[in-house]
């Protein structure tokens, strides 16, 4: 929730499905309405808190005001003026007299909330009834076509105030009923396609559903229209737009897979004798198995003996040698 440090206890949030949207800080210098006196501009800049929020196309949203301790309210009413995309859509008030159970003298003792769901307009042809047109983020198509490029400056002009929700909070006096007040529709052109260079976002009102007639009140702003108690500004953008503005981090690219480092070689010098001996024996056996046999096979003769193992006899008649004496 957006909180103004000078107004503790007052919180404003934009919600979807009852849950406040995540808010992102704005690092830019606060911008105020042009043409104001310097003193008023400085005052409003000091009273303004700006946050970025993510818009979701075709999603309804509500604006939630919360009062809690230690908010001090020593006046009759807390008035608000809500603008969406530069157009005033509602001006709800919180009357102290109707919430006395939440106060202890002039200070809020128990937190309470006020939710603004949409804009109530007079139901056509049905006096005494109203239509509640709910707030909704519109879907705008971006185009990069050249034929729309010529209209980009006109698109920028049309979209100048698009993409912003502002809530001005005022101190106000006693409220009196205004039965003649009639709420009118936002009107104006609903932008459906713009060049991507002019793209921001847009909110719109829903088709409308039957609702009870809202009682309107009038009262006096104690400090005048230029001196708000606090100003809350929400700049809504698509998720991709928030990434392009570096409001939120871009999706990181996947990191390349790490190549495992090669295992270090084994050095035999680090082995002790007890480790070296079986390793050397294993290596010798491995080398011997890889060396071819050098044995020479000898042919055997028909008798089964080896030709090289015995001498051949000479051919011819036998010679008799007489070794006796005469």
With respect to residue 292, please indicate whether it lies within any of the assigned structural domains: no
With respect to residue 153, please indicate whether it lies within any of the assigned structural domains: no
Average pLDDT of the segment spanning 113-117: 93
Residue 111 reports pLDDT greater than 50: yes
pLDDT the model gives residue 195: 42
Which two three-digit tokens encode residue 234? 């929400």
Phi, psi of 282 (to 5 degrees): -65, -40
Cα distances (angstroms) measured from residue 61 to each of 42, 86, 114: 31, 17, 14
User: What pLDDT digit, counting tens, does each position of 42-93 carry?
Assistant: 999 999 999 999 998 889 999 999 999 999 999 999 999 999 988 898 889 9
User: What pLDDT digit, counting tens, does each position of 146-187 carry?
Assistant: 554 455 555 555 555 578 999 999 999 998 887 666 555 544
Question: Residue 230: which domain range?
Answer: 2-139+165-188+203-244
With respect to residue 260, please indicate whether it lies within any of the assigned structural domains: no
Q: How far apart are CA 191 and CA 196, in angstroms?
A: 13
Average pLDDT of the segment spanning 100-116: 95
Average pLDDT of the segment spanning 9-28: 93
Average pLDDT of the chain, as a whole number: 76
With respect to residue 178, please indicate whether it lies within any of the assigned structural domains: yes
With respect to residue 258, please indicate whether it lies within any of the assigned structural domains: no
User: What pLDDT digit, counting tens, does each position of 260-306 carry?
Assistant: 776 666 666 777 777 778 878 888 888 877 665 555 455 554 444 54
With respect to residue 283, please indicate whether it lies within any of the assigned structural domains: no
Domains: count for the chain: 1
Q: According to the per-residue pLDDT averaged within each range, which of 66-80, 127-141, 231-245 is highest?
A: 66-80
Residue 250 reports pLDDT greater than 60: yes
293 or 39: which leads in pLDDT: 39
Assess whether the previous peptide bond of 70 is cis (omega < 30° from 0): yes
Name the percent of the chain lying above pLDDT 90. 35
With respect to residue 261, please indicate whether it lies within any of the assigned structural domains: no
pLDDT the model gives residue 192: 42
Residue 248 reports pLDDT greater than 80: yes
With respect to residue 43, please indicate whether it lies within any of the assigned structural domains: yes
pLDDT the model gives residue 209: 54
């Amino acid at each position: 929730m957006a909180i103004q440090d000078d107004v503790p206890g007052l919180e404003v949030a934009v919600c979807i499905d009852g849950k406040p949207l995540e808010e992102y800080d704005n690092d830019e210098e606060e911008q105020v309405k042009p043409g104001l006196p310097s003193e008023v501009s400085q005052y409003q800049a000091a009273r303004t808190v700006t946050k970025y929020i993510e818009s979701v196309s075709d999603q309804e949203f509500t604006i939630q005001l919360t009062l809690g301790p230690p908010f001090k309210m020593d006046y009759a009413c807390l008035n608000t003026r809500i603008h969406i995309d530069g157009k005033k859509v509602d001006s709800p008030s919180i009357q102290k007299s109707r919430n006395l159970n939440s106060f202890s003298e002039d200070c809020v003792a128990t937190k309470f909330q006020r939710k603004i769901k949409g804009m109530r307009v007079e139901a056509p042809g049905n006096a005494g009834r109203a239509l509640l047109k709910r707030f909704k983020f519109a879907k705008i198509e971006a185009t990069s076509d050249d034929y729309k490029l010529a209209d980009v400056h006109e698109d920028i002009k049309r979209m100048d105030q698009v993409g912003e929700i502002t809530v001005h909070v005022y101190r106000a006096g006693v409220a009196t009923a205004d039965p003649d007040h009639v709420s009118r529709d936002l009107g104006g052109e609903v932008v459906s396609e713009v060049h991507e260079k002019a793209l921001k976002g847009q909110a719109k009102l829903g088709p409308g559903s039957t609702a009870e007639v809202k009682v309107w009140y009038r009262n006096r702003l104690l400090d005048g229209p230029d001196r708000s108690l606090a100003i809350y500004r929400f700049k809504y953008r698509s998720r991709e737009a928030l990434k392009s503005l570096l409001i939120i981090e871009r999706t990181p690219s996947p990191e390349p897979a790490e190549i495992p480092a090669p295992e270090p070689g084994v050095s035999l010098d680090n082995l002790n004798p007890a480790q070296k001996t079986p390793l050397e024996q294993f290596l010798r056996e491995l080398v011997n198995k890889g060396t071819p046999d050098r044995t020479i096979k000898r042919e055997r003769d028909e008798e089964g003996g080896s030709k090289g193992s015995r001498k051949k006899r000479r051919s011819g008649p036998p010679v008799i040698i007489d070794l006796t004496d005469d």
